[in-house]
Amino acid sequence: MTTPTRETQLVDAFTTLADTLVIGYDVVDLLQTLVENCRDILDITAAGILLADDAGQLEVVASTSEASNLVEIMQVDAKEGPCMDCFATGKPVALPDVDVDADRWPSFRNEARTQGFRGVFAVPLRLRDDVIGTLNLLRDEAGDLDERDLRAAQALADVATIGILHARSRDDSDTVRLQLQHALDSRVVIEQAKGFLAHQNDASPEEAFRLIRGYARTHSRRLSDVARGLVEHTLAL
C-alpha cells in the first residue's frame, strides 16, 4: 500500500475541513477534526484548542486526547503560558524547549514537564484583528518545529476560524459571541456525556468520546445533540 505524502495529507485535511462547512455543521466536531489532522500530519505529539468565553478567558474545547494530562497542561496554559501570550498578541509563540527561559512561565513549565512535554507552540485562531482562541501544538521532544509545519498549522487554523465565523460580519460581535459560547457550552455537555458513558461501559474517556462521535457521524447528528440526549437519558448507545 502506498504511504500518502505529507502534501496529500494536507490536501485531504483541507478538504475534510471544507466539507464540514455546511448548514448545521458542528463547531466542536470541526475543531476536533482540526487537532486530529495536526497530530497526524505535523511533527508533534499532541494538539489542543482553547476558545475565549464571554469574559475573555480561554477554555479547552478540543484535544487529541481526552486523558487528563493534556487537558491539565492546556488549562494551566490558559492562565500562564505560550497560548496566553499568543491569544493576547495574535501572533504565534514558540517554546522549543520548556527548560529554556524557565522563569518566564514557571507554573506552565512545571506542568509541561510533569506531563512529559518538552516543546510547545501556540498558533492564533484569528480573522483579521479578531483573535478567538489558540491552537496548541505539543511535542514530547525539545526542538524547533519545522517552518513548513508552522505555516501549515496556521493555514489549517485560519480555515477553522473562518468556519466558526462564516457568514458573520466581523462587526456583528453579538452573533460571534453567541457562536463561540455555544461551542464552549457544547463541550461542557460532551464532557458530561463522556463521563456518563465511560462509567456506564467501564470504558476510558477516549473510548467514550469515540462512541459519541461515531454515533453522531453515523447518524448525521451534532456531537452536542448526541451528548445532550445521553445526559438527559433520551438516547442510549
The answer to whether 82 and 105 have CB atoms below 8 angstroms apart is yes
Lowest mean pLDDT among 24-33, 70-79, 159-168, 222-231: 159-168
Q: So what's the architecture of 6-170 in CATH?
A: 2-Layer Sandwich (3.30)
Report pTM: 0.72
Strand residue runs (E) in the chain: 46-52, 58-63, 93-95, 119-127, 130-139
pLDDT in tens, 100-159: 876 888 888 888 888 889 999 999 998 878 888 999 999 999 999 999 999 999 998 988
- Dihedral pair phi/psi, residue 123, rounded to 5°: -120, 130
Q: Hey, where are the domains in the chain?
A: 6-170
Report residue 75 CA to chain centroid gap: 12
Instruction: List Cα–Cα distances, 189 to 25, 93, 134, 173, 182, in angstroms.
Output: 17, 31, 21, 24, 11
Q: Which of 205, 115, 199, 125 is nearest to 157 (CA)?
A: 125
pLDDT in tens, 53-62: 878 888 888 8
pLDDT in tens, 21-49: 655 567 788 888 889 989 998 999 999 99
